Amino acid sequence: MSVVATTPPQLAVRTVPLRDGRDLLEHLPGDAPLAWVHRGDGLVAWGEAARFTWPGDDTGDGTQRFTAAARWLAGVASATEVADEVDLPGSGMVAFGGFTFDGRSAGSTLVIPRIVVGRRADRSWLTTIGDRRGAHPGEILASCTPARPIGPLTWTEGSIPAAEWEAAVATAVRHIRAGEIAKVVLARDVYARAERDIDVRTLLRRLTRDYPGCYTFSVDGMVGATPELLIRREGDGIGSLVLAGTRPRGTTPAEDERLAAELTGSAKDLEEHEYAIDSLRAALAPLAATVETPDRPRLLRLPNVQHLASPARATLHPGVSTLDVVAALHPTAAVGGTPTAAAVELIRDLEAMDRGRYAGPVGWIDAQGNGEWGIALRCAHIAGARARLFAGCGIVAGSTPEAELAEADSKFQVMRHALTD
């Protein structure tokens, strides 16, 4: 198995405080921006100093791409000279990454950019990454042009039409009721085409405006606003947010409360959520000294949907790497199913598409292992003038095809609105 990677002989990294009150996204040029933003804090970046790409065929236990990426990143870090005047998570050398949902798919990647601008609370910084000491990347001088509107769009069906997807849901329910599997998550895609290349910065600005509580990301063409935090790591401590169980928001306060009460009292959705919590506990048990989860989920309300949510915390054993944890947690029951192996096989049989990096881990990691990784949900893959949107639903014994199709349509709305001028 060959790994495609660009690695200069040595990188020279310098991080300095930045006294700049601009919004993070205002720093970005238009070409291939990288971003991870939450409530105004986070990281934006551009340029490329080094890249790791996994070619696919991860057919063993599904962790090879993570192990190879961690090994590559450690090798780059060991040959890197760092001058860091800020010393916060996200300063110094940073890589942005996205991993495919299925290990058999090509496209998992880590990118070390040339320029990074970061913000954490009231502190901002600038990181430059060059090929040698004293060399400043040319991209630092790039002018920041105004973000362009998207323009008219043409919409087309995705890999599987709605009626066929409903049939796939019905088939999944039969497997579940036969006792072959407890839960499976099935996804759909749709396509949009603009008249010219889509400016990712426009999507990022709309997503951060409309979904400030989500984690807005852009990594190698994958752009979205995910509510689901897979892992936040600082030192040996990690936090995670498990989401499973969904209703739309109501059009009136009374309808909103009715839908919330329906969700929190739904045996089907509570069952789906418990599968997700059990999956997280089982995955973290070999890696962590302690794992803490709440007794009952809380309600997380977003502008378009509301979820059952459970925050979790854990303390890792010494020597456990961040990508070890990401590999162990992926795929969660919230995006794959239960039991995992059987669910992934059923997804391959029923979805009629390659998810690529949809529902895979996306985020950033620094040289000390600090980082934030979410699940690539509420997102689209942008390639020139084309956008491929994704949405998925958790299928359990009580699922109905019509309700699941409506739920998927509600999840598409995040990126539909972001793409609409």
Catalytic residues: 183, 228
Number of residues that make up the chain: 421
SS3 325: helix
| Residue (of 238, 236, 235, 217) closest to 226 by Cα position | 217
In which region does residue 42 sit, left (phi positive, over 0), alpha (psi from -120 to 50) or beta (all else)? left
Residues 74-108 as b/e (b if ≥16 CB within 10 A, e otherwise) read: eebbeebebebebebbbbbbbbbbbbbbbbebbbb
The residue behind tokens 């060059």 is 130
Q: Are residues 262 and 254 in contact, defined by beta-carbon separation less than 8 angstroms?
A: no
Tokens of 255: 């309808």
- Strand partners for 305: 248
Q: How far is CA 192 from the centre of its chain?
A: 21
Question: CA 261 to CA 253: how far, in whole Å?
Answer: 12
Q: Are residues 129 and 11 in contact, defined by beta-carbon separation less than 8 angstroms?
A: yes
Outline where 159-307 has alpha helix (H).
162-177, 200-210, 253-264, 267-284
SS3 343: helix
SS3 317: coil
Question: CA 362 to CA 359: how far, in whole Å?
Answer: 9
Q: Are residues 385 and 198 in contact, defined by beta-carbon separation less than 8 angstroms?
A: yes
Instruction: For 197-215, give the DSSP string.
Output: ---HHHHHHHHHHH-TTSE
CA angle 308, 304, 240 (to 5 degrees): 40
Look at strands 4-6 and 50-54 and give their pairing: antiparallel
